[in-house]
Homo-oligomer: A and B are copies of this chain.
Amino acid sequence: MSLTAIKYDRGMGRWEPNARGRLEQAAMSLYLESGFEQTTVAEIAKRAGLSERTFFRHFTDKREVLFWGAGALQDLLVGTIASAPTTATPIAAVLAGLEAGAALLQERREGAVQRQSVIAANAELQERELIKLASLATAMADALRQRGVKEPAASLTGEAGIVVFKVAFERWINVTNEQDLVPLVRDSLKELKGVTRDG
């Protein structure tokens, strides 16, 4: 995932550079100012100095602007699981992936908070977020299967990992004092273990 400041990155940007980034910025600022629904794609394009049609060439729909980064997170999770020691149990491998992802998010806390405030205010955006999380779960399950984990253990472990992450993430967002996401993830997993133990 290219981050920012692409100086000379191949043939990119014969016109005003970084069209995609401008669209992203314009969209995020408008979503924060007026809310997601009230913001029109025409407005986003105008603020970015581009046409509405161009917006849809960079993003499949109005929501995707906010979820563009999910791919990088997924790659990181899958990669970490894949490169976990063979001796690691499935849930330990997943935890390693989640911790890596948590560390990534930790660096972008401010952006994550803003993003989440927009998402929390709109049902369509929540739907999109949930399908991204589901995609993460299946990707992790695939990575586990590659490690020899059978079904339904692979799917369950992947889904359980997402549950742990979701709960930890929510606490991380709604906490006033800056707190580390990584230990929250560890605690969340411990809690899940406790909860599934009794009964």
Hey, which bits of chain A sit against chain B, CB under 8 A? 88-92, 95, 123, 126-128, 130-131, 134, 152-153, 155-157, 159-160, 163-164, 166-167, 170-171, 188, 191-199
Contacts and interface: CB of A to CB of B under 8 A. Distances in A.
A168 to B, nearest CB: 8
B198 A91 contact: yes
B191 A153 contact: yes
Tallying the copies of this chain within the complex gives: 2
Given A90-B199, A160-B196, A199-B90, A155 B130 contact: no
Contacts of A157: 195
Given A131-B126, A152-B188, A167-B152, A193 B196 contact: yes
A33 B156 CA distance: 33
A157 B149 CA distance: 24
Nearest to A88: B199
Nearest to A128: B127
